[in-house]
């Protein structure tokens, strides 16, 4: 098992003259096995990193598409330990992608921050994105992640001022997740115009790698973001592809086609 870190795949993409392509998928949707297979399809179709979502009962930052998928995963009995198992399974396949977790903090707190970081690292995981945890309140998690060499990825938003950006950059590792708009996740006709300014300001605050998410669903949008960001994060569009599929094979075809379109976008930026 080779463990690819966030910086590894972002820097690899940079060396190829492009931004990294990062995909989000909820674990346990539509089943645990199928979520692992879907992630594998994406890693074989040009995706550089996977964010495995931990389904949560109060997803305040998720839009309707991801909420629907998370509801299905929860009804299947998916728990944080299944996310660790999914990463362990995928890291053992022919996979050169970084494997991360996207989770609200309560499931990690219930699992135990040190135990979660330990088990994630042992499974081949690269890091954790915690959208509702600010560094000011994350000392226990920051210490646990550093101890087990797990990336701690925090979010910044268009409303973040220079002082806040500098604090987040000092507290994070791997990359900074720049939310392109204020609001919940979901596909949008256009990505927030303030994203470029946010990336520039975050770099001035000291960030080496800044990736942009929330709203990306087309190759054209991916190309636009790839022209100024180090990574393009896509979630709802991949989840919708699975929701609208007739069966497993159709889901894989849709995922491969979308990943190929997005990869061409980041390569052509």
- 248-268 and 32-43 helices, crossing angle to 10°: 30
CA-CA distance, 119 to 114, in Å (whole number)? 9
Q: Does the annotation count 51 as an active-site position?
A: yes
* Catalytic hit among 37, 48, 62, 151: 62
Q: Does the annotation count 256 as an active-site position?
A: no
* Catalytic hit among 48, 51, 89, 230: 51
Q: What are phi and psi of 253, to 5 degrees?
A: -65, -45
Bridge partner list, 234: 23
CA-CA distance, 15 to 9, in Å (whole number)? 10
Say if CB 22 and CB 233 are below 8 A apart. yes
| CB-count exposure of residue 114 (10 Å: 0-12, 13-18, 19+) | middle
CA-CA distance, 158 to 8, in Å (whole number)? 27
CA-CA distance, 85 to 249, in Å (whole number)? 23
CA-CA distance, 176 to 67, in Å (whole number)? 24
User: What residues are labeled active site?
Assistant: 51, 62
């Amino acid at each position: 098992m080779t463990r690819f870190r966030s910086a590894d795949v972002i820097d690899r993409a940079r060396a190829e003259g492009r931004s990294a392509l990062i995909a989000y998928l909820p674990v346990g949707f539509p089943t645990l096995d199928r979520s692992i297979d879907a992630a594998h399809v994406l890693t074989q179709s040009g995706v550089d990193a996977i964010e495995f979502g931990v389904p949560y009962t109060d997803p305040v930052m998720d839009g309707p598409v991801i909420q629907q998928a998370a509801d299905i995963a929860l009804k299947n009995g998916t728990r944080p330990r299944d996310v660790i198992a999914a990463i362990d399974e995928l890291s053992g396949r022919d996979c050169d992608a970084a494997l991360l977790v996207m989770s609200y903090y309560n499931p990690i707190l219930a699992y135990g921050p040190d135990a979660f970081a330990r088990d994630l690292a042992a499974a081949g995981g690269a890091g954790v994105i915690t959208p509702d945890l600010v560094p000011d309140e994350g000392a226990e998690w920051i210490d646990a992640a550093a101890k087990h060499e797990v990336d701690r990825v925090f979010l910044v938003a268009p409303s973040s001022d220079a002082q806040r950006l500098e604090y987040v950059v000092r507290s994070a590792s791997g990359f900074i997740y720049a939310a392109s708009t204020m609001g919940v996740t979901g596909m949008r006709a256009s990505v927030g115009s303030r994203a470029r300014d946010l990336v520039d300001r975050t770099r001035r605050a000291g960030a080496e790698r800044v990736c942009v998410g929330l709203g990306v669903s087309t190759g054209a949008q991916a190309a636009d973001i790839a022209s100024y960001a180090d990574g393009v994060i896509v979630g709802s569009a991949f989840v919708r592809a699975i929701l609208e599929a007739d069966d497993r094979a159709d889901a894989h075809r849709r995922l491969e086609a979308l990943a190929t379109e997005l990869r061409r976008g980041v390569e052509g930026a």
